[in-house]
Amino acid sequence: MPRIAKLYFRTAIIFLIIGIAMGLTMAISQDHSAIGAHAHANLLGWVTMAIFGGYHALNPAKAERRIAMIQYMVYTTGVALMVPALYLMLTGNPAMEPVVAIASLITFAGVLLFAVIIFSGETAPRPATAAQ
């Protein structure tokens, strides 16, 4: 598996653990105010990151490009900032709103970079196969 795919799956599982921990906390306390942080930790974190990682595993040539690592850094920074800031905002810290806004824009930039990766063509030369 390409390095970037492994990295995405490792990051994704961390967000699933955090997301489920928030879900369990909400369920046990019967206080669902953190619902948005829980939903987005699981969906922007676990689900979307696993899809990004799966795409790279299926496209190893694209996974080796510099843009793949840049995209990972931008997207992960956005989500890693957005989830805790959203959690704090929803649990009584309205001052976190500008951080959530900036983190959301960084996350969106990461998504746009992934669109560039998806729409870019394959550039790696295919190994020649012996005609028999």
Residue 76 binds to ligand HEM (criterion: CB under 6 A): no
By CB under 6 A, the residues from 90 to 109 that bind ligand HEM are: 104, 107-108
Strands, E assignment, 1-132: none
- The residue to which tokens 């996350």 are assigned: 107
Distances (CA, A) of 25 to 22, 34, 44, 67, 115: 5, 9, 19, 37, 35
- Binds ligand HEM (CB under 6 A): choice among 11, 42, 71, 76: 42
Residue 48 binds to ligand HEM (criterion: CB under 6 A): yes
Residue 71 binds to ligand HEM (criterion: CB under 6 A): no
Closest by alpha carbon to 107, among 69, 68, 81?
Answer: 81
- Binds ligand HEM (CB under 6 A): choice among 43, 57, 69, 99: 43
- Binds ligand HEM (CB under 6 A): choice among 24, 67, 118, 124: 24
Question: How many residues appear in the chain?
Answer: 132
State residue 111 phi and psi, 5-degree precision: -65, -40
> Which stretches of the chain bind ligand HEM, using CB under 6 A?
19-20, 23-24, 26-27, 32, 35-36, 38-40, 42-44, 46-48, 104, 107-108
